[in-house]
């Protein structure tokens, strides 16, 4: 496992260095939908990561954001987001990361998230803890939703789909201390693990958004579920990640909120 972790870390660092080097350059942008975009740097970073995996672990499966899944029936599958926060990156907003996770027989066993702009490397191993640049991570001690700093994001079909998180955002905005929307789900999860955020929720995320980050939260002592409290898996329609202490209070807000009604409610 040590050799695999070293490989994941070195690969994340190399891909992150590529992103950082090209950050200030102009980018070729292609739109996958009205607001969902991809840059040429996404493809370059993904190619770097996939090529390294194929050379080192040729029998392993690979699930990456910008290409077709490589599936041979292996017990091991790499789940990759070469650039989480592409919209930020394309606008020159320095909040983005590389996310690499390894799954064995359907269970995430290793995760690495690298923020190249701050030189922050988050790593986690199943039953081995979560770390930031080698220092052990623990979730926050906050036990009140009223004093919590939360994070969230919005789905790419926010303009077409009424189930777009606006109702939940409005409901929690008047109950939490504050909410941040930074634009990188993987970093949001890493920040929950680091105790910077007390909780994070989002709808319709993809496996590459959550694979490494959810392991970080769990290994830092946090709690992961769907927003309704049911167990989370990589294809779940929603994700709630917290320090555990505010998990019941957030679930209660979700249960009491109409997902199709974005009207603001006063705090109770």
What is the CATH number for 27?
Answer: 3.30.540.10
**At 247, which CATH number?**
3.40.190.80
DSSP-based three-state secondary structure for 59: coil
Q: 189 in a domain, yes or no? A: yes
d(Cα 243, Cα 138) in Å, to the nearest integer?
A: 9
- Distance (Å, rounded) from C-alpha 178 to C-alpha 164? 19
25: pLDDT confidence band, cut at 50, 70 and 90?
Answer: confident
- What mean pLDDT do residues 42-48 have? 92
Express each pLDDT in 49-103 by its tens digit: 999 999 999 999 999 987 778 898 999 999 999 999 999 999 999 999 999 999 9
- Of the three residues 136, 169, 193, the one that is the final residue of a domain is 136
Same domain, yes or no: 159 and 232: yes
Would residue 267 count as lying in a domain?
A: no
Domain limit, last residue, from 136, 157, 183? 136
Which token pair is 215?
């392991």
Whether residues 130 and 8 share a domain: the answer is yes
Assess whether 114 and 163 both reside in one domain: no
Asked whether the beta carbons of 44 and 18 are under 8 A apart, the reply is yes
Last residue of a domain, one of 113, 136, 159: 136
Share of the chain above pLDDT 70, in %: 93
What tokens were used for 146? 């009223």
Within a domain: residue 157?
Answer: yes
Residue 214 counted as domain residue: yes
Kindly state whether residues 84 and 19 are assigned to the same domain: yes
Write down the pTM of the prediction: 0.93
CA distance 91 to 242: 29
Burial per residue of 201-231, b for 16 or more beta-carbon CB atoms within 10 angstroms, e otherwise: bbbbbebbbbbbbbbbbbbbbbbbbbbeeee
128 and 161 share one domain: no
132 is a domain residue: yes
Shared domain for 149 and 132, answered yes or no, is no
CB 80 within 8 A of CB 64: yes
Is 261 within a domain?
no
What contacts 141, CB < 8 A, 6 or more positions away? 195, 243, 245
Flag whether 77 is in a domain: yes
Domain that holds residue 207: 145-256
Q: How many domains does the chain have?
A: 2
With beta carbons less than 8 A apart as the criterion, state whether 192 and 137 touch. Answer: no
| Residue 182, in any domain of the structure | yes
- Segment 106-138, tens digit of pLDDT: 999 999 999 999 999 999 999 999 999 999 999
User: Based on the domain organization, do 126 and 201 belong to the same domain?
Assistant: no
Helix axes 166-173, 247-256, angle to 10 degrees: 120
Helices (H), 174-244: 185-193, 207-219
């Amino acid at each position: 496992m040590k050799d695999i972790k070293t490989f994941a870390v070195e690969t994340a660092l190399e891909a992150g260095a590529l992103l950082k080097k090209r950050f200030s350059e102009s980018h070729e942008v292609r739109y996958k939908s009205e607001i969902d975009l991809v840059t040429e740097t996404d493809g370059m970073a993904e190619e770097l990561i996939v090529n390294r995996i194929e050379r080192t672990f040729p029998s392993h499966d690979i699930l990456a954001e910008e290409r077709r899944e490589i599936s041979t029936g292996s017990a091991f599958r790499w789940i990759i987001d070469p650039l989480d926060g592409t919209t930020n990156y394309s606008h020159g907003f320095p909040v983005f990361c590389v996310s690499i996770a390894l799954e064995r027989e359907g269970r995430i066993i290793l995760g690495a998230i690298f923020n190249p702009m701050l030189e922050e490397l988050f790593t986690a191993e199943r039953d081995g803890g979560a770390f930031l640049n080698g220092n052990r991570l623990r979730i926050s001690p906050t036990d009140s939703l009223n004093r919590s700093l939360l994070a969230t994001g919005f789905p790419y079909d926010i303009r077409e789909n009424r189930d777009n998180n606006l109702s939940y955002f409005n409901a929690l905005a008047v109950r939490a201390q504050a909410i941040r929307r930074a634009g990188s789900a993987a970093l949001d999860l890493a920040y929950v693990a680091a105790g910077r955020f007390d909780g994070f929720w989002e709808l319709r995320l993809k496996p590459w958004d959550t694979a490494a980050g959810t392991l970080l939260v769990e290994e830092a002592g946090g709690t992961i579920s769907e927003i309704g409290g049911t167990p989370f898996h990589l294809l779940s329609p929603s994700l709630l990640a917290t320090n555990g202490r505010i998990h019941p209070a957030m679930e209660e807000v979700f249960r009491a909120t109409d997902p199709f009604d974005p009207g603001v409610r006063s705090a109770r």
